[in-house]
Each structure stands twice: as structure tokens, then as C-alpha cells.
Amino acid sequence: MPPSAAPLGSTRQHARRLYWQGYTVAEICRELQIPEGTAYSWKSRERWDECTVSQRISEAIDARLVQLLAKDGKSNGDYKEIDQLMRQVERLAKIERYGVTGKPSHLNERQAGNHVDKRATQNFVTDDQITALQQALMAGLFGYQHIWHGAMGHRIRDILKSRQIGATYYFAREAFVDALLTGDNQIFLSASRAQAEVFRGYIIDFAAEQGVELKGNPIVLANCQGGGPGATLYFLSTSARTAQSYHGHVYFDEIFWVQRFKELRKVASGMAMHKKWRQTYFSTPSSITHEAYGFWSGKDKRKEIDISHQALAGGVLCSDGQWRQIVTVTDALASGCDLFDIDQLRLEYSEEEFAQLLMCEFMDDTSSVFGFEELLSCGVDSLVAWRDFNRTLNRPLGLTPVLVGYDPSRTRDNAALVVLAEPRAKGAPYRILEKHEWRGMDFVSQAAAIKRITERYNVKFMGIDTTGIGIGVYDIVRGFYPAAKRINYNPETKARLVIRAKELVRSQRLQWDAGWNDLARAFMSIRRVQTASGNAITFEADRNEQTGHADLAWAVMHALDNQPLRQMSPDGHGTQAFLEIS
């Protein structure tokens, strides 16, 4: 509702909530189109700066509850959120009563000496359980994770790492144990809420191993070791305006794959400004043109730092006060990690992909058809931006039509499938709702996986690459989805697919969850090459009959092959896109 159409009280409440979220008065006035004098008067008269945390939270909860209760056709997720909010209302009421009376019973606690009845307190962990969790953390560490743990005394830890070596898993557990031992808040900052939930899931599972059931988001612990006040664990997406009001130890994952890193780095350091707080940054590499590279290399501070693998393999405190380490897949193996078969991985990935994904080398995106910054701009916080989509439902998008693209597996690569939602209005973006990669599945199993997708979504179009072995999957799929489109690769077909996707990416009309780094990486691996005859230009990603890469990107392009190129570009840029990239 525009501010001019809202009652004065509603506008004032909206202004107050924005102020508590970190907006300045000037920003609020521009947003709500009100005079600065009016906002300053409200701020002074209502003493916005003096309001307690409970008052601020209570008002936010009230506003959200009113919105949900008035909503027609509530989903299961809406009812779940209402229940969670009502629990928070009850919790705040108990805190307010305790503030007046000082009686522990009003916090729903029972005392017998200094003993707290854990049955009456949510997220309570006994000292014995805390000790067991601490022991479990240390017992399961690989050598490089022991080094990370030993570096907790440094204010800033900055780690460049291989994929799949357990960094998110470890830091989630490290932070949880630290919260239980010290009562310190822990803040997890990720590109999207969905990615941040990975941290939360690891922590919930870790606690459950010792019989502790954690609830809530954020997770508010009832206590720390010795019965002291409990910490709060926040799981945030990279939204500067909502993150900056928190304080605690900060864990920021995949920094080389987020937009506006310099701005977000200021937010992260602001949340951990006090000397007691630590900051931990960890990521696989992307491009040296990314904003995070200056932070990693020391160039932002004009420091000459040796960031070679030889210098940083063991972890080093550098001249700018940052502790840095590089952990490649071979480092992980040497440190006791037995999760990889290096010889098999070398067969599955090209030399360039192996170097970037597993050996911590930055990508050269100069010859890529799709620009790195363009691809980053396609990432959105899907849990916030896509309110009509719920992954947990049997019909995640209801009856809204979707497009499906499938890229079959070859000898050494994955089969890839994506589900896209068509634009909701002219000029709106296509949204990549789901992505799947399957390995080692026969034709029948691949077709069965596709059939399950058709049972969950209203599939309007399906494009399948039938070049080579894809024809086997296609023949089975036609039995339950006769309208599936065959896509046979040749230079003209590839050009059509790439031009269409390039135009959508450049115009920011293609979206996916910002945490899906593999999707951006897949598009970046597509390059211009000459055909065998040398008479034309085509597009490849180290792809042939034996090995295939960029599978997710090709699957997306197959799904987009549902209408003529001109219709995909309503402003008529399709022809220009062809001239520029071919």
C-alpha cells in the first residue's frame, strides 16, 4: 500500500520498523514520501532509540501476524509460521513478566538450588551434553579442520578451499559448540536464506546426536555451560539492511560467489566490530575480477601478501591481520580426508574444471560467452522473492505451468534436469525452481525421475537432448509425456540455445537461488569455438560423446527452447545478441 493511502498510524509504525531495521531517517523519508521533520518528531516523541529489543521484536511479530491472519487461502507454511509467531509472543510475555517481578518461575523455569528444569525450557542443553558435543566435534576432525579450530584465536580467518571438503559442516558445528561454551552469539551469512539453512540443518542434526532438540529460527539457546545466559544463532541472507543490527561471531560462506561483496563485508565487520568477535570467511574461488579478490589478496589494503598455495597451505597470519589458508583436494587427502577418488575425479572433470573446483585456482572467464557479473546478478534470495513457490508441498507451484529441460548423462558426466517457471508478466524473469544431477542411472531410472517431476508440476513444455544416447531416455519419456521435444545438436541448434540464454541473462530475465554456485559455474564454462571445418563458430564446454560438462546450463537452455527467439526478447534484442556473440 502506498504511504499516501495508509492511515497516519500505519505510516508511523512502518517508519519506526524501518528505523529499527537500520534505515536512516533520510532513507525512511524517501521511501515513505514524508517530510523529514515529521519523521524526526516521531523519533523523538516515541523515543525510538530507547525502545527495548523485546518491544522491537513484539511490533514486528504483531505486524506479521496481522498480515497472515488476514490472508485468504492460507497454506500449510502460513499456519506453521503463525504457530511459531504465537510461541514467540508467549515467550516475550514471559520475559516481560520476569522483568517486572524478577521471579524465575515467570520465565517458565523451576529452581532447585541452581538447577534449571530442562523439560520446561526450549533449547536447553545440559553440561553433560555440552561436554559430549565438544568431544564429538574434536573426534571427527580431519587435519585441516584441526588447523581451522586452532586458528579460532585470530580475529579474521580467510580460507580458500576445494569443494566438498566439509567446511560448512565443520564451521556450523564449531560455532554451535562455541555458543554452548561461551554464550556468544553466532551469525551465519550466506548468499540466500536457502543456503543459510544448510548451516542450521547441520547444527540441528549435530545437537540431535546427543538427544538435544533445537527449535526456532533464529535458534535461541536457553543456556550455556555452567547455566549462564544462552546465545542466539542467526541464519541470514546477504541483505545489508536486515543484517546490520546483529552482533556476534560471523561466518560468511562462498564470498567469491556473492554480489556486492565490499558492501556486505562492511556489514559483516560491523556485526563483529567489538574485539571479542571473530570473522570467518571461506569460499571456493571464482574469478579474480570478483570484489572479494582484493580482500583475499590484500590488495584492498595495498599490502604485498604472498597468496600462493606454497605460502598458505599450512595457514599463516599475514601482515594485514588476516589468517589465511588454502586447502586443495590433495591437501585434504594428505590430512586424512578419505572422501575422494582423485583418479576418478580427473576422469570426470576437464583440467580447467578440476583446477578451479578442487585445486583452488581462479577461473579465466575472458573467453566465456556468459559474463561472470551478469551471472551473479541472476541470483536472488528465492525464499523471500518467490512467495508463490513452496518446495515442501506436493505441488510446489500449484497449477502454474512450468518448463522442463533435460540433459542426459554420457559416459563420464551427470544427467541434469531443471524446472523453470514462465514469466508471470511481460518482461518478468524466468525462474529456475529446481535443479537435479544424477549419476550412474540407466535409461529407465532417468525416465522415472523425469516422470516424478511431471507428477509434481503442471509441465507445459519439455526439451530433451536426443543427440547420442539421449534418444533412449526420450523414447521412454514419450510414453507418459508425448509432447516432449527432441533437440538434436548441431552448430545452428547450439547457437539458438546460447543466444536465447545470453539475452535473458544480460537483461536479468533469468533467476535462480543465489546459493546455486554450480549453475553460474556451468554457464561460465561455455565458450566460443570453431567448428571442425573451421567455417563457422559454435559453442562448447569440453563436451563430446565420451564426456560432457556444463550439464545444468545445457538443461536450462533445453527448457528455454519452447518458443521462437524473437518472442523470448520482447524488446527485439535477440538479433543484436546473435551478432555480438557469434
pLDDT digits (tens, 9 = 90+) for 245-256: 689 999 999 999
- pLDDT above 90 for 192: no
Checking 3-6 for CB contacts under 8 A at 24+ apart, the result is 3/32, 3/33, 3/34, 4/33
* Residue 572 confidence (pLDDT): 46
Query: In the Cβ-directed half-sphere of 115, how many Cα atoms lie within 13 Å?
Result: 5
Task: Compute the CA torsion angle 378, 384, 385, 389 (nearest 10 deg).
Answer: 110
Question: Cell 539421449 sits at which residue?
Answer: 470
- How far is Cα 460 from Cα 456, in angstroms, rounded to an integer? 13
Please report which helix (H) or strand (E) contains residue 565, including its range: helix 565-568
pLDDT above 60: residue 430: yes
How far is residue 437's CA from residue 449's CA, in Å, rounded to a whole number? 11
pLDDT confidence tier of residue 99, bands split at 50, 70 and 90: low
- Read off the pLDDT of each residue in 383-392 and give the average, rounded to a whole number: 89
CB crowding 428-463: b at 16 or more within 10 Å, else e: ebbbbbbbbbeeebebeebbebbeebbeebebebbb
Asked if residue 229 has pLDDT above 60, the reply is yes
State the CB neighbour count (10 A cutoff) for residue 213.
Answer: 10
pLDDT at 494 over 90: no
User: Any residues with CB less than 8 A from the CB of 191 and at least 6 apart, and which?
Assistant: 237, 238, 254, 257, 258, 379, 381, 514, 515
pLDDT of 559: 96
- Per-residue cell: 99: 522483568
Q: What pLDDT is recorded for position 469?
A: 74
Q: If DSSP codes are grouped into helix, strand and coil, which group holds residue 315?
A: coil
DSSP per-residue letters across 35-88: -HHHHHHHHHHTTGGG--HHHHHHHHHHHHHHHHHT-SS--HHHHHHHHHHHHH
pTM as predicted = 0.69
**Phi, psi values for residue 328, rounded to 5°:** -85, 175
Please, what sign has the CA dihedral across residues 315, 316, 322, 327?
A: negative
Check whether 188 has a pLDDT greater than 90.
yes
Query: How many residues are listed for the chain in this entry?
Result: 582
- For 49-57, what is the mean pLDDT? 76
| The pLDDT of residue 119 | 42
Q: Which of 547, 407, 401 is nearest to 487 (CA)?
A: 407
pLDDT exceeds cutoff 80 at 539? no
Q: Supply the pLDDT for residue 575.
A: 42
Evaluate if residue 182 carries a pLDDT over 90: yes
Whether 385 shows a pLDDT value over 60: the answer reads yes
Q: What pLDDT sits at residue 1?
A: 35
pLDDT attached to residue 546: 36
pLDDT band at 468 (very low <50, low <70, confident <90, very high): confident
b vs e for 154-175, b when ≥16 Cβ sit within 10 Å of the residue's Cβ? bebbbbbbbebbbbbbbbbbbb
Above 70 in pLDDT, residue 567?
no
pLDDT value of residue 104: 58
pLDDT, mean of residues 431-459: 91
Give the per-residue pLDDT at 169.
Answer: 96
Which pLDDT does position 570 carry in this prediction?
47
Q: What is the CA radius of gyration of the chain?
A: 26
Residue-averaged pLDDT of the chain: 84
Q: What does the alpha-carbon distance between residue 75 and residue 261 come to, in Å, rounded to a whole number?
A: 35
Q: How far apart are CA 196 and CA 188, in angstroms?
A: 7
Exposed e or buried b for every residue in 270-286, given b needs 16+ CB within 10 A?
bbbeeeebbbbbbbbbb
Q: What's the pLDDT tens digit per position in 333-361?
A: 999 999 999 998 888 887 888 998 899 99
pLDDT by residue (tens digit) across 260-272? Answer: 899 889 888 888 9
pLDDT at 384 over 60: yes
Do the beta carbons of residue 281 and residue 158 sit within 8 Å?
yes
